[in-house]
Amino acid sequence: MTATKVLVVDDEPTVREVVVGYLRRDGHDVAEAGDGTVALELLDADPPDLVVLDIRTPEEFASGHLANAINIDYYADDFESKLAELDLEVPYVMYCNSGNRSSNALPVMDSLGFAEVYELDGGIQAWYSAGLTVEQ
């Protein structure tokens, strides 16, 4: 099973506490930050093998994305085969718009044998809410 690591970025402590509690209860390894610092530290550390994976549509991707992200459209017919072409042994930070697609993509990545996947809980919307920047 994939080591699902969830990054919870929400500036509302009550919401963050509830979400983190449910995730931990379900056995997830959770890193939380009200201001996105955990996600930023991971991305800023820029480990040589870290892949930032944006699974939104190409149009959404073009409107703004995390630095150095690659785009594989969750809704595309070849989504799973495109994932299968990726290196299974490197760590991934995956996100979508709000967290729905990325939470649905986790079991797919698990079935393909990905070793380490971090999900940006709340997607890019949580990133924006935390006041963090994106690239065009």
**What is the rounded distance in angstroms from the CA atom of residue 64 to the CA atom of residue 58?**
10
- Give, as one character, the DSSP assignment of residue 98: S
What is the full DSSP assignment across 30-94? EEEESSSHHHHHHHHH--TT-EEEE-S-HHHHHT-B-TT-EE--TTSTTHHHHHHTS-TTSEEEE
**Active-site residue identified among 96, 109, 117, 130:** 96
Residue 128 to residue 134: CA distance in whole angstroms: 8
Catalytic-residue membership of 96? yes
Cβ–Cβ < 8 Å for 73, 81 = no
Q: Which residues contact 40 (CB under 8 A, 6 or more apart)?
A: 132
Q: Which residues are catalytic?
A: 96
